[in-house]
């Protein structure tokens, strides 16, 4: 947990309406997630879906829990009925135990070297952007607009926008 976030690396205009927030269930970062949402002018303006592994879990946990896709889709639709949100935030996080569990030690665990930190970023980007595409397709079929922003949080609670994967084939499945 960290107390001060004067400088998130964030430059886009904050959303004006309520958003749908998707995060992992990780207990270490819940307070940091709330703090980040407060910073984005979204205090009490988001429905929060927590799912182990965040985007990876929402896409069925690499085939380990395929029914989670339907669970996530049901939450997406209910939240949309209630809020008519136009923005989704996906906040992935580093050192995710669910990534280790669902992708295995080789694909889902990362050490502190710069190379491995970049690989970790890349794997999260791959799943987050795939989840974004899936949600955009749901929204398209519903005939509603949707923006999806993806982020990566570290264990201090620092948040950075997650750039698209450089190599979409890097999914950690190895
Ligand atoms: Zn996690």
pTM of the model: 0.93
Cα(2) to centroid of ligand 1, in Å?
A: 18
The answer, yes or no, to whether residue 1 has pLDDT greater than 50, is no
The full 3-state SS of 48-109, as one line of letters, equals EEECCCCHHHHCCCCCCCCHHHHHHHHHHHHHHHHHCCCEEEEEEECCCHHHHHHHHHHHHC
Convert the pLDDT of each residue in 116-158 to its tens digit: 999 999 999 999 999 999 999 999 999 999 999 999 999 999 9
Q: How far is ligand 1, taken at its centre, from the CA of residue 59, in Å?
A: 14
In this prediction, residue 9 has a pLDDT band, given cuts at 50, 70 and 90, of confident
Helices vs strands, H then E, count in the chain? 5, 5
pLDDT tens column, 32-62: 999 999 999 999 999 999 999 999 999 999 9
Ion ligand 1: residue ranges with CB closer than 5 A: 24, 26, 96, 98
Give the pLDDT band (50/70/90) at residue 174: low
How far, in Å, from the CA of 41 to the mean position of ligand 1? 24
Q: Which pLDDT score, from 0 to 100, does residue 167 have?
A: 74
Alpha carbon of 61 to ligand 1 centroid (Å):
12
Contact 110/117 with Cβ under 8 angstroms?
yes
Domain positions in the chain: 27-161
């Amino acid at each position: 947990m960290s107390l001060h976030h004067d400088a998130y690396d964030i430059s886009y205009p904050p959303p004006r309406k309520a958003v749908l927030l998707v995060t992992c269930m990780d207990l270490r970062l819940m307070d940091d997630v709330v703090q980040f949402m407060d910073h984005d002018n979204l205090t009490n303006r988001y429905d929060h879906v927590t799912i182990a592994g965040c985007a990876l879990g929402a896409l069925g946990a690499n085939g380990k829990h395929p029914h989670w896709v339907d669970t996530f889709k049901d939450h997406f639709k209910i939240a949309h009925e209630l809020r008519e949100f136009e923005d989704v935030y996906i906040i992935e996080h580093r050192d995710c135990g669910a990534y280790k569990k669902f992708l295995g030690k080789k694909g889902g665990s990362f050490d502190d070297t710069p190379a491995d930190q970049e690989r970790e970023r890349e794997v999260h980007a791959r799943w987050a952007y795939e989840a974004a595409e899936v949600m955009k397709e749901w929204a398209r079929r519903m005939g509603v607009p949707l923006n999806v922003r993806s982020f990566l949080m570290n264990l201090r609670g620092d948040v950075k926008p997650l750039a698209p994967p450089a190599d979409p084939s890097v999914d950690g499945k190895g």
